Structure 1
């Protein structure tokens, strides 16, 4: 353990030498002796002491008290005064520097060592407390939540940086002020002033949470705050000692909530719109296709009964009935492709890829798929995801090529769809939904229904890759 370094400032040489011997015998390190302000500063530039024994009356223009003030400002050193003076004015001046003790001349050896040990111990404890306080303040200041500490008399003790930023007030200007005078709150629903925040909260309770209030900024702006708490602190006699408030600026949260509501509303509108469009499409197909065929059958029944060539009329009627059956099958196929009920998903996707398409070249690959663990609902959703991806690649990406890959894992099925079209900003796909582009959202909804996970990567030059992983029936996949 290193020895304590001491600087002796004393213009009486006999006293200085005597002090040095006492301290060296007590195993202290003397880094120097000085008789004036200039000598003190020269020594400290070369080696900073741990403590200074300072004579009040020293040589030069600056006395020991003025020298001590500068030492504390530059080096934060503990000072013990050496003095034979007892006049009140000098003592009052010395007290202003917060010394760690006084040695009255003449002094005894035991008195010197005892006072030094006490001063060093006090300074060490104060330093540790100061460091702890600084660490605590640094930690509190760095948290994103606003934090306010109020004394038992409801005056402001402390606010951190986040509280300053949100409120528009600084600790320097409001410390010691009555809390309800510095901070003005409004009810979130009515926008009316809350006259006494302590009545609004029941501070007799241990802790309370609050969701949303308005904090009135000095500029007149109403800042929404929430995710907050108010915690009274009591002593062992259950007397209130302080109150701690925490909260956040929830402006962005409210905007995000509003955007989510708009997205949900848009999704609902898209679902309803899609249902209505599908109904209209089916109605058109029934009217224009099946309806017209059935109408033709109806018109041909009466002529058939009176036709001279009944055989010919019967053939024509059978042909019309056949067309009606085919049209019914086509409409049914569009609603739910029959192959999804009869064949595995790989076969269905291969059939989809092989359908003639003048605008897009589609390829398909499949490996190690456990088809017996893929139910009809998953087959329908995977098939519709592939259909939606093909439609998006043609309409929006203007792709030339698209590849569908189906790969089986231990507990899940992975479908990868990759095109070479125009990419898009994946981060802003929610904005696309608000603009009326529902394709990707439909895909994400279907993945969610299957308890799967989806990853979308897109680049303006390289196209888009959609990776969908869904669990086999009866299994789960870990979501990260």
Structure 2
């Protein structure tokens, strides 16, 4: 899609050139300006000497002595430029570090055009709001009445004793109506007020507390409240100073992003269903048409051989070669049909299909295969196909990456879930290797599992890799 923008300048910081070039092309199609591609943190810093970007797309696991998070810390400290992290997978510690740098969003690889555009627009919108807010705070920090943010002052019982014009505009009440009333009256849910005031009393301060509040006209607003408790001593007592920020529009953007991701997931699921149907149709067509024709040809050839003069040695040898070729083609046709859609999956079920595929895998690779599968009653065809394709992809990854020589496979029912486990004895992997590998196969596995509200866990160590799948029945 071609979208007209204000030609915001974007810097790409990504050490994988193919991903970076693809990202650059997508950004230009969307109408953004790309000032360059930096493959390391040092290259990123050099760009600030030439041209200041409006936004940075930063690979969270940037290779080199300075990773993406550390680079973002420097930028956050020395420059006022919004950053969106690019990530395929990160551990909790990395995400905690990343959050401390004040990012304006995360985009999960592989990057979809719609997600990219939405994330950038939200980030730029948020950044512009934040920038204006910072200017406002600097300019009017001592001018209570001129603040652009709704500000209120309450006594120790949370009764409002003062409010600025922004507060009045937000809630649509005159100042006289606000004064002397409890702050709880402006909360849409009293339980949220109780939680908020409890935190304020216990901690002395609350930052960016998200809740819903209501105006005089009944408009429900998503807000963030930052509040500090103060104490002027026994004579004057204490109270609270609070700032309210309306984030309703931001929440709408975020919900739209969630909806777009769900739509994409639904589309992916539908595409997979169509692919499976097409595979089934092709396999059936090959089996019914080509398979029958080959069988008929083999019968005709056998009939001819019986009628050949025994003295026609050359002709007999030629028909023998033809018979062998026909047999080879029949075997190839059967293999093609099995690869497209194993008939055993439809005829005998998932457990039998996994046992058959494991046996084929053992014959082809020489791996030791330990298989423990039980039949799963009431398992839908869609879920059976998804689990079988995940199993096939896992075997493919074992061949490509594991350096293993044995595989353990189990399929069973646990409570209301079906559980599939594939474990090898290979060299394992690190979290960084799994991210950098950029496996579309693993991404496809995750999408298949998520489409059924399931769980996919891939773990690896020195004793190999384990793929653990759980899908509700």
TM-score range, shorter chain: 0.3 to 0.5
Which one has a bigger Cα radius of gyration? 1
Give the alignment's TM-score, normalised by structure 1. Answer: 0.38
Of structures 1 and 2, the one scoring higher in RCO (CA 8 A, sep 6+) is 2
Normalized per residue, which structure has more helix?
Answer: 2
